[in-house]
A = this chain, B = another copy of it.
């Protein structure tokens, strides 16, 4: 597991629903924002990954909603990389506001050669920075 990367977001009416809280699907959008900044902070802007012909589509996602987020809340979304495998990677997420946990979740991704749509082994230029990304928590 690696150090998290956080993004902040001010909740807008667009994010909420008629129950007065943030709509459940919005959390997956927030997960994307946090994951993208996690990759950028490791020197791997996703745009560069895409430009090299690899995409990392989501194959699984889980969400646990603990407390509702409301209009104008300033939420922080933290992403961590949980596991890097030869063919993919798993991230986990925590959404908070004012120290209160709103939601947690995870997304699993496989490496795909964009042109052919086929699952591939993660190339070295992609897997190494991800593994180095874990160093800070590896005291050995």
Contacts and interface: CB of A to CB of B under 8 A. Distances in A.
A8 to B, nearest CB: 12
Interface in A1-32: 10, 12-14, 16-21, 23-26, 28-29, 32
Copies of the chain in the assembly: 4
A113 to B, nearest CB: 13
Contact of A18 (B20, B26, B59): B20
A53 interface: no
The contact size tier of chain A is 35 or more
B57 A71 contact: no
Contacts of A17: 13-14, 16-18
Contacts of A14: 17, 23, 25, 29, 32
